[in-house]
Amino acid sequence: MAAFNHPHVRTAPVVIVCCARIHSHVSGTGRRSFTGDLAAAIQTMVLTAADLGLHSSWIYGFREPDVRRVAGVPDDVPVVALLCLGFQDGLAELAERRPREEVIAWDRWSARAKIAP
């Protein structure tokens, strides 16, 4: 339930809890850099998994306190994402995605691109 019963979290043989150590580095915008650093690391894991024939699912929807408790993550370490890994036949099927025309706008915002309810 920590990930709202997401089918990939339930069925993946591997779920990586992606955490960040907050440090003092701040980018030129004044923001801490750990979210960008971690996103790059997760994307590298996704690409490497694909090279190995594995499927992956990057999950942002979860209850951080519950994930923290299950994985034993200390309170001062943010849980940023979950990464599910497995072979395609071992991961649950997801609901059909919305058509590209509804979610992608090229060049300018389009009235066809709708925000999910």
The pLDDT tens digits for 48-88 are 999 998 989 999 899 999 999 999 999 988 899 999 998 88
Spans of all domains in the chain:
7-103
The pLDDT of residue 99: 83
Higher-confidence residue of 43 and 28: namely: 43
The answer as to CATH 3.40.50.150 being correct for domain 7-103 is no
The pLDDT tens digits for 37-46 are 889 999 999 9
Confidence category of residue 111, pLDDT binned at 50, 70, 90: low
pLDDT at 12 over 80: yes
Q: What is the pTM of this model?
A: 0.73
Task: Give the closest residue to 80 by CA, choosing from 98, 97, 92, 68.
Answer: 68
The pLDDT of residue 115: 54
**49 vs 67: CA distance, rounded Å:** 23
Compute the mean pLDDT over every residue in the chain, rounded to the nearest whole number. 83
**9 vs 3: CA distance, rounded Å:** 7
Confidence category of residue 2, pLDDT binned at 50, 70, 90: confident
CB 13 within 8 A of CB 84: no
CB 42 within 8 A of CB 107: no
